[in-house]
Structures are given as C-alpha cells and as structure tokens.
Amino acid sequence: MGNNSKMLQKFKSTMTWEFEMTDLGLMKFFLGLEVRQEKTGIFVSQEAYAKEILKKYKMESCNPVSTPMEPGAKLSKFDGGERVDASKYRSLVGSLRYLTCTRSDLALSVGIVSRFMEEPVHSHWKALKRILRYIIGTVSLGLYYTNAADYKLVGYSDSDWCGDLDDRKSTSGYVFFMGDTTFTWLSKKQPIVTLSTCEAEYVAASLCVILEAAMKSAREEGLGQPSDAVVALYHIGAASVIKIFLVK
C-alpha cells in the first residue's frame, strides 16, 4: 500500500537485507482485514471475519434488521431477568469490538452492550443478537478510500444526554472524513455527569477539537498538507447542525 514505488522498493530492499523475508506482492488479507487495491482506490473490509462470527453463533440464517439497536432502547445493569453465560457474552462482545475496525456504524451499539459484561441478562443478550441480525444484512460493508488529490478533513460530533440509566453519564461520538471516506471515529461514555444537554454537547465537541489538533502534525507529515490546510468541524445538535469553526 502506497503510491511511491521507489520508496517502497527501497524499503523492501532494506528489510530483505536485514531480515529473512518473502515479498508476497500487494496485501490482500491481514489479521482479518480484507484489502482490495484498485487504480481508483483501496477497499478495506472484514466480510470473511463477520461471516465467521455469524457462523460461530449460528446466526447465518437469521432475519436481517435495518438498525444495530432498537430505536429508543434503554438497557440497565438492573434490568433483571434470566442470566446468560457471561463467558459467551464477553467472547461475542470482543469479536464485535474487533469488527468495528472497519465498521463505524457498529461503534455505539457495541459500546453500549460492552457495559454489561460482568453480569449479563437476557435483555442484554437480546440486544447483542440484534447486532448480529444487522450485520448479516450489511456484511459486505467496508471502507473505500478513493484516489484523490485533495484530502480535506471534515469532522462531525454528537452526544446524547444521560443515556446511561445506571450512572447518568452521556455518550460522545465523533467521526472524521478524509475526502468522502470515514477516516477515524469514536463512541465513548463521557467521564463526567453533565447537568444539561448543552454541557453534554460541549464535552462532545471539545473531544472532536482535541483530536483535530492531534492530527495537525500527521496531516503535514503523512499527507504533505500545509499547516494552514482547512478542516471543517461540525456539531450535530438536537435541532440543527452547527459549524464549530474552520481550522486554518
């Protein structure tokens, strides 16, 4: 992977001289990631890995759903009900966490079910199986990085308010696009209990801004973009989309 053939050849020659190695050509598969390199771009997915998960938990023939979580669903550690096998529950959550390497659409739902790994009950297991039902209908999704000269970064952030019924903490989320493809994303519970929706939104927006500042040097070194390259940051509020600022 890369667009500088001379640099790649020099690197391979150096590594071959230093270590015993074999050149297998273009990367096609790496640690569960499937890579398809084309002239117009690079497509990265985990389709085979997702199918292995479905097969392991006998969900290959389940009915697909359109969302990874039921809209408006609220889970709690004190839901009650029949307990399920905690080891099996943790194993499935761990597998789904690795699947989020290329599936940003699963970040929130997997993060929520991860909160109940200590003593999962039937309602938690049901929510976990719904994620599998969503995956079977979207198993071929992945990331496609197009070959473009202008890699403008655009970031979006959002937050709920007191979404966790147990500790009343909110959940922040952000996603950055490089061109038209998702570049990095996160769904994470906030470290504090916010007293208003406004405060929760500001916490989420600040997390997004901190990441952009950290990526400034990476843009300069990795992509060769000048330090004054424009990056648009937006916050998705309850009633509107707010442009935070243009980073120059």
C-beta neighbour count of 116 within 10 angstroms: 23
Nearest to 36 by CA among 122, 158, 114, 144: 144
- Is residue 61 assigned to a domain? yes
Give the model confidence (pLDDT) of 116-154 as tens digits: 998 899 999 999 999 999 999 999 999 888 876 666 778
Supply φ then ψ for residue 240, to 5 degrees: -160, 170
What per-residue confidence (pLDDT) applies to 31? 85
Residues 195 and 239 in one domain: yes
pLDDT band of 112, cuts 50, 70, 90: very high
125 is in which domain, residue-wise?
44-137
**Of 137, 166, 185, which residue is a domain's last?**
137
Give the model confidence (pLDDT) of 15-49 as tens digits: 888 888 777 777 888 888 888 888 888 889 999 99
Q: Which helix (H) or strand (E) holds 99?
A: helix 86-99
- Is residue 178 assigned to a domain? yes
What contacts 122, CB < 8 A, 6 or more positions away? 81, 82, 83, 84
Given a cut of 90, whether residue 166 has pLDDT beyond it is no
Given a cut of 90, whether residue 225 has pLDDT beyond it is no
- Is residue 24 assigned to a domain? no
Cα–Cα distances in angstroms (integers) from residue 137 to residues 67, 118, 140, in the given order: 10, 29, 8
Residues 168 and 222 in one domain: yes
Residues 155 and 243 in one domain: yes
C-beta neighbour count of 238 within 10 angstroms: 11
Residues 157 and 133 in one domain: no
Given a cut of 50, whether residue 248 has pLDDT beyond it is no
**Of 91, 110, 137, which residue is a domain's last?**
137
Supply φ then ψ for residue 109, to 5 degrees: -65, -40
C-beta neighbour count of 44 within 10 angstroms: 19
- Is residue 142 assigned to a domain? no
What per-residue confidence (pLDDT) applies to 17? 83
Domains identified in the chain, total number: 2
What per-residue confidence (pLDDT) applies to 113? 93
Residues 132 and 155 in one domain: no
> Under DSSP, is residue 243 helix (H, G, I), strand (E, B) or coil?
strand
What per-residue confidence (pLDDT) applies to 149? 66
- Is residue 28 assigned to a domain? no
What per-residue confidence (pLDDT) applies to 132? 94
What's the whole-number average pLDDT of the chain? 82
Given a cut of 80, whether residue 223 has pLDDT beyond it is no
Residues 116 and 166 in one domain: no
> How far apart, in whole angstroms, are the C-alpha atoms of residue 165 and residue 235?
24
- Is residue 211 assigned to a domain? yes
**Of 76, 102, 137, which residue is a domain's last?**
137
Count of all residues that appear for the chain in the document: 248
- Is residue 13 assigned to a domain? no
What per-residue confidence (pLDDT) applies to 240? 44
Residues 125 and 66 in one domain: yes
Residues 115 and 170 in one domain: no
Residues 238 and 181 in one domain: yes
What is the pTM for the complete model shown?
0.80
Tokens of 104: 């940003």
What per-residue confidence (pLDDT) applies to 235? 62
DSSP 8-state assignment for residue 160? -
Given a cut of 50, whether residue 96 has pLDDT beyond it is yes
Chain centroid, CA 98 distance in Å: 9
Given a cut of 50, whether residue 110 has pLDDT beyond it is yes
Give the model confidence (pLDDT) of 48-69 as tens digits: 999 999 999 999 888 999 999 9
Given a cut of 60, whether residue 229 has pLDDT beyond it is no
- Is residue 48 assigned to a domain? yes
* Bridge pairing between strands 181-189 and 171-178: antiparallel
pLDDT band of 239, cuts 50, 70, 90: very low
Q: Mean of the pLDDT values across residues 71-100?
A: 90
> How far apart, in whole angstroms, are the C-alpha atoms of residue 166 and residue 92?
23
